[in-house]
Amino acid sequence: MVKFDDNKVALLESILFTTTDPISIEKLAKMLRTNTERTSGMLAVLKERYSRPDSGIMISEMGGYRLTVKPDFVQDVADLTPHADLSRGVLRVLAIIAYHEPIKQSDIVKVIGNRTYEYIKELTERGLIKVEKKSRTKILSTSPLFEEYFGVKKHVIKAGLAKKPEEKEAGKQEEDETL
C-alpha cells in the first residue's frame, strides 16, 4: 500500500469540500502539485474513508470530483441547501424539462419566454441537461449529473408526478410518429 502525505490528502479533502463544481483529476493534481497517478491514489484513500457506514458524505465522480452527501441522507439535509446556486427561473425550466423530457426548447419558450435561452445555456454549462439539435429547435432532457446533483432518480420523479393515462397515450403516439 502506497503511503501518502497526510497534509496532501487533507488538502485534497479540503478542495473537494470547498468546490461546488466538479474538478478534473488533472486540475486536482496541479493544485496538489503532484501527478495524476498520486492524485488518483489519494482519491482512493478518501473514497475508502467515506465508504464506511458512519460517513454521510462520498466522493462524486460525475464530470470530475467533489464531495456530496450520500443518497441515503439527501432528503434529511435538503432543506439546509435548497440549491441556492440556481436561480428560480433556472429551477423552473429544469423542473419543466425533468417532468416532460424529452421536450422541445421551443415549447418551453412559449411558456417561459425568451429568458429560456439564458436558462438553457446555464443548465447546459453546468451539465444538468443534454441538448440535441433537431430541425430548427432543440430537444432537451436531463443528464446523469442532474440525478446526482439533486439526489433523485428520473423514475422517482415520473412516479411522484405520474401523468394521467390519456397523457401517457398521447406522448406514446408522438414518440411513435417521430421514429
**Where would I find the H helices in the chain?**
6-18, 25-32, 36-50, 71-77, 88-100, 105-112, 116-125, 144-150, 154-160, 165-178
Per-residue pLDDT at 83 exceeds 80: no
The domains located in the chain, with CATH, are 6-80 (1.10.10.10), 91-167 (1.10.10.10)
DSSP class of residue 67? E
Amino acid found at 17: F
pLDDT classification of 33: cutoffs 50, 70, 90 = very high
The pTM (predicted TM-score) of the whole model is 0.52
Q: Considering only 26-30, 49-53, 85-89, 128-132, which range has the smallest mean pLDDT?
A: 85-89
Angle (CA) 76-144-171 rounded to 5° is: 100
Quick one: which of 10, 80, 11, 9 has its CA closest to 40? 9
CB 112 within 8 A of CB 135: no
